[in-house]
Amino acid sequence: MLTQPSYRSLRNPTVAIVGATGAVGAELIRCLEERDFPAAGLRLLASARSAGRAMTFRGAPVEVQALGEDSFAGVDLALFAADADTARTYAPLARAAGAVVIDNSSAFRMDPDCPLVVPEVNLESLTWSRGVVANPNCTAIILCVAVAPLQRRFGLRRLQVATYQAASGAGAPAMQELLDSTRAFLDGRPFEPQVFRHPYAFNVFSHNDAVDPLTGYNGEESKVMAETRRILGAANLPVGVTCVRVPVLRAHALAVTAEFDAPVPPSAVRECLEEAAGVRVIDDREANHFPMPVEAQGQGDVLAGRIRRDLGDPSGRSVAMFLAGDQLLKGAALNAVQIAEQMLVA
């Protein structure tokens, strides 16, 4: 079993990014730079086909190295932005070399020895980290940033969620497929999908994760439900989720109905969200201006609006709202860097 790490080595850490050339990896580099993270050095790691490529950090070129068993010598903090198989293979090697790991894949999210952290929600869980910290599913992060303050103030009985997920959730190839297929559609040219099974331009379809034949829920929906319960510390919370891909390049949106322990007026929900860390309320009924992916992208807040009583619940305990958040930032890279920043002061 891994031993509890000391975060003293993270005061001015040498940082490695695994999957540096992907969409999340590029955002990790940008977040470290824009937030002036005190990295003593940066090591960029990716597949062999990306080795030798130069990326820029703080105005200087950094050469991408091929990921290998010896990649973590001298590394204090390893930020993983790769798939789950890569994380399962290389995170133990990073830990053995003395690095603390923050992993963005699904590999460790339900491991009881690895905390699943959203800093605005459950930062206290970092105290029992064994050296691998899991970054939650992007949709679960966006949901929990908005729902957690409501849970704390009003109590929470149930969540019902429908998601509108952007191409960014499936990585850079999916974003490129959306661009290419849209150009082809507008030009009247045929286009054969490569990343997804279905046409992406001007279309919506069920999230591309495999569907469980017994439950009817796909893998993304199951992850969001399980991780939301874990992040909120509510193992028995009823959560229902339907996840859909929409032809948006970047930033996810969620339609959420929350049932509380007692009747709650929408005005109280709005007030709570206005005070919540990491949330920005956009709820202008007169102008019909509510959260949109185009305004969520490129910034770190979760946008919340369309706050209204759920007329389908005569008890008055349920409130509906609409959220939007940048999947690559708060849903991935920014959340990971915020976790690392908290380790600096641990």
> Do the beta carbons of residue 100 and residue 343 sit within 8 Å?
yes
Give catalytic residues, as residue numbers: 138, 252
CB atoms < 10 A from the CB of 38, how many? 13
Nearest-5° Cα angle at 238, 138 to 207: 40
Q: What is the pLDDT of residues 82-92, one digit of tens each?
A: 999 999 999 99
Domain boundary assignment for the chain: 7-136+332-344, 140-327
Nearest-10 Cα torsion for 31, 34, 40, 44: 40
161 within 8 A of 240, measured Cβ to Cβ: yes
What is the crossing angle of helices 138-154 and 219-232, to 10°?
40
Are residues 14 and 24 in contact, defined by beta-carbon separation less than 8 angstroms? Answer: no
**The CATH number of the domain covering residues in 140-327:** 3.30.360.10
Cα end-to-end distance, the chain, whole Å = 22
Whether pLDDT at 145 is above 60: yes
Confidence of residue 130 (pLDDT cuts 50, 70, 90): confident
Kindly state the percentage of the chain with pLDDT values over 90.
92
Q: What is the DSSP letter of 331?
A: I
Name 46's bridge partners.
66
**At which residue do the structure tokens 């109590």 appear?**
155
Average pLDDT over residues 169-179: 94
Please tell me the predicted confidence (pLDDT) of residue 9.
56
CATH architecture observed for domain 7-136+332-344: 3-Layer(aba) Sandwich (3.40)
What's the mean per-residue pLDDT of the chain?
A: 94
